[in-house]
Structure 1
Amino acid sequence: MKFLLFFSFFFLTICISGQRKREAEDSVRIMLRQKFFYEEKGKFGLKDSLDKKLTHAIFDNIDFFDENLFIVEKDSRFGVINHLGKTIVPAQYKSLKTGKSNFANQNQIDKEEIENYLKDFIFSYTNEDLYEEQYGIYSKDGKLLYPPIIHRFSEVKKYKNIVYFIVVEYPITEGFVGEYNGSTLKVSQRRLVKFQNNQFSNQPIQVDYDDLGFLPIENKNILFYRESLKGGFYNMETAQKTERKYKGYEVLNNKIYAAKEKFYNYILDENFKETISKDSISKIVNGYLYLNEGGNFRLMKDDVKSKFSYPLIEPVSHYFDYGHYSKNEKYENYLTELFKFYPDKGKYGLIDFNGEIFVEPKYRDINIYPLRQYVGESYNEKLENEYKKNHLEYLIIPGGLFAPERVCFNEFKIINSLGEEIVYLDEKNYKTYVTNDNFGTYSKKGITKDFFYSSSNRQSGFFVYDIKSGKIILASDNGNFSLRKNGGFVLRAYDENINVHTVTYYSNRLNKLYEEKTPIKEYYEIERSVIKSKEIYFFKNNKVGLIDFEEKEVLPAKYDNIKIVNFHYYNYYHRSEDDLVTSFIVTKNGKTGLLNEKYKKIIPLEYDEIKYLSNPYFEAYLVKKDNKYGLVSKNNVLLAPIIYNSEIYFDEERKQFDLKNENRVVFMLDYSKQDKNIWYNVYDDKKYYMFKDGIISKIEQ
């Protein structure tokens, strides 16, 4: 019990220090290894805190795995033992994991809930290859719950507080030793498994099916099983089962529409009783039935048929569920009810269920994209209200996306969510500017109420289209162009002949604000600071000030020099854009100080030099006065007195502030304090400081 409590305490210590300060983890781990592992003739064994040997030294390696559990390696195979040396998982697997989050599909249950059900198991892998993955499941007390024949949890569903998995199984790997309920499971391609009371059990459906799948029907637990080209339905609660006579199915309003041949004309109720529809139902998408009427198609919803029919009607690709897309209630339903159609000439348009034509049928293809999906990484969340106000939350792209092999396209258009054409590249502009690099699959695009741009992810060109004038107003075959997250635009261009980066910043009106040519070794410093700020430099009468990307002056041009500093503090090693804090080092009449993000003076202009010292903890500055150096925080707290002859710098490897060329530490983290937020001055009577959310303050003693 002493061993158990001691190990539990230090395991928790590792977890906490791993979250808060990674630099403490290695020392704690080394201490634990010395405390509980021993080595003899190059092999390792387990001992307790009193040095009593719990296993022979037979393992090639031992390491920590989970609370009270250790992972052991033997002949390049892995297993698990517990804190008493008992074998939990035999050392015969290629890999072991404590959780499983990779599911082929999940149905009616969220990912976090799935992971929660499986968090107390050990997953033992005989093959880790993504396409040939194979594993078994052990409990943490050493019971084999599922032999290593699982290739994938295909689907999962929770029904009446019981979790059901559809498991894709592979044959047992050669060399596996172990039993499962006294015998080996029959291997099948798909298997229905019930998970209850931390146990897996097979269900009565016990034949080798090519496919199994849950039906998305509320308050029913129904499967579709398939063998060869036909399948049937199975009620897991009543064990009622249909013949295997259907080629496929669709579900609408909890009704099953099944197809024996071409059409989904067989409607099944909850007892699988068939009713034959008089209409030929070719497909069901987004709640609409597509009816085949000889040579034409017609739509039907809630037993109401559209008044029109055409040779072809198709659903529009909307991509509404992309990422964390915020749906717009005003346009969402209407745009969802738009359909691609063409009368007889093979050209697509858009029409709604009432027969109103939204886009005339004159395009080779047409799709609707939420802006977030279409422009990808160039999407600016801070402009969401502007996008919606200007009807840009959806972009309708006639002609489809650009692909170099589709040479039939010779123009490009974008229509907004009101049906207004906002971008049009005619044949000449299309051939001039639309290339695979600056417009293809791996390019980046952006749009505002005034401009649309498309740019290479590399340095091979871009163009900017003015929506109001309908003209290309900026273009190049060099560099890349993008929206900034805090307003405006940035152009990056690299001249390899002279090894120089040119960074140009534009306002939201696309007026050039600032340009800087930077040697390659200094370029990334510019990217870390200026690129993310809300303002940029402007010059007047040989003085410098700050202007924002709406071209509003936010700081008068009265300084000799300004340096923008963007500090990112770490919140338990999770970095977020919201953690960004901007400050400004300003120089006037030979003296330097610091302004905060509101342009208020926080360090007075009394120093000969101030230099930002990048570190992941708090905003720290080297200050120089009368040829002496000290350390000051952003909130003007003196962390190290201004008495040193050498510059102070942050040692990234040792995570402390040292003196250059003297091998002396002046300010460091106090590792003896449990919360690890305490720092102290080494040579100034050990004055103590605490930091939180990037701000450090003196602790009064």
Structure 2
Amino acid sequence: MANKKSSGNNKGILILIIVLFIIGIIFIINNINNNKYNYTIETIKNEDIKYYVYEVNGLYGVIDKDGNNVIDAKYAKIDIPNPKKDFFIIKEKDDSKNNKIINSKGEQLLTSYEDVSAIELDKTISSIPYEKTVLKYRSKNSYGLIDFNGKKITNADYEDIQKVDFREGTLKIKSKGNYGIINIKGTVILKPIYDDVNADGYYNDKDGYKNDGFIIRTKTDNGYKYGYTTSKGKIIIEPIYTQLSRINEIADSKNAYLITSVNGKYGINKNKKQLLKNEYEDINYNTLNQLFICRKQQAKGVYNLDGKAIVPMDYDEITIGGIYINAIKGNQSLIFDAKGNKIDTKFVSLLKATDKYSIIIDQNNNYNIVDNNNNLLLKENYAYIEYYRDNYFIVTKNGYTGIINANGSIIVPIEYSTISKIDKTEILEATKIKNNQIDLIDMNAKVVRGLENAQMSITDNYIKLESDKSVNYYTLEARQTTYKELFPNNKIYAYTQNGKWGFVDKSGQVIVPARYEAVTEQNGNTAGFKQNGKWGIIDTSGNIIVQPIYTITSSKIKFLGKYYLVSDNIGLSIYSGDIVEE
């Protein structure tokens, strides 16, 4: 009896061990598979950049971040795919067949490869428009991937390797005339069996383009057909549609909402599930209310994200104002809320601004503010109202713009031509066209005076207003500051006196008297000055290292070493030493 019980226990333990072993194997396999798809995108900030390209008389070289010459300007082309690295791709002459890789010592790198080139990216997704960890190499007219140390990532199995729009770290491959997708680890996401493959462009602030999918295309006797896959290459929809696109305005990383078309008739899919059949002549998406406005045989209706009819397909025209749906049939006009309930209101649009306030538009296109009981709060209407923050609203009346609070009190005078939010900040730019005045408005709706006849530029950590007579600096919170406060480690700073410009040190001691028409701030170890219409360059001790010989027509004047800025793609500045004849 005891032996039987012991035998049973042993079997149970054995089964448990086997189950745990299987679970462990599954876990390991899943980790391996996930690791194939996971990669890190290197981030390069402006302060990380060590090298820049410069040009003289149509030939290119390299300077460092202080403007010192690293490689003489003697090459037809130079690419710096990762400006943190001592690694430069050169083309010796315009008709050179192959590129070469050299470092700052002029030593040739990666000599075992026939030809190596950088892989370009869209400038919209990266400040450095190249893949920053991998390179493309050629062998016998085929291409593969290597890293910057020359380690082979893929064999040269492809007719071409190129960027994928909207994506960094993901590449389009070509083989036997067809296209597929790999990542920078060399993992094949989609085999090259499609006539074309493109990313759908889905983006969110948290994950960037990580959760976008791919639109695949095949060529048939009946024309092109489109389908859809996940970012890992899982087929969601086979290529059966004549058109297909993702509705990227729907913020849902787990589900792809797709507009599909069959012979000119449109429908909606949520992943594989068809929400609306392909029977509509037109479908438009309303982002605010997450609704589809559909047209079928001249009749219009509204559906929600579940494919449920909110307003029946029975109306001549449908427009959406805020959270109100305006439906017209003949002479009859009805208003529905976003759930499809008929409501009795004199407003054609109601847009929620805060928990307490909404912006309304009446039938005469007048704007006002209401409380939660739809009581009008302003004694007068406006031509336009836009919510800013807290209790503040941007308003327009008689062609001019200002700021009021919810009670109608004027906070910023209604005297500006435009008031608009400055990108990536919480403050506003206010302009007057008459004298090209630019002011700033802080988060408390207080005006911070700027300059007349000014131009504005924005960097990562400050705002610059510049006119012919003055330069002002502001923090991203609209507090006026100084260049010295922003860059305390500089040795010289611009100053003006009696309409002329010069340089002082940190203590205010004059280094170069104010005798020039204009100057630039220090960049690297140099700064620029303008005399008799031409630009020259000084070092941080005030010594002239380039006489005023440069004629520069660009509105952005910047110097590094002996060279001036000619192109600025955020992190990929190009400088020049050309003397332009007038």
TM class, shorter-length: 0.3 to 0.5
Looking at both structures, which has the greater relative contact order when contacts are Cα pairs under 8 Å and sequence separation is at least 6? 2
Give the structure-2-normalised TM-score: 0.44
Give the structure-1-normalised TM-score: 0.38
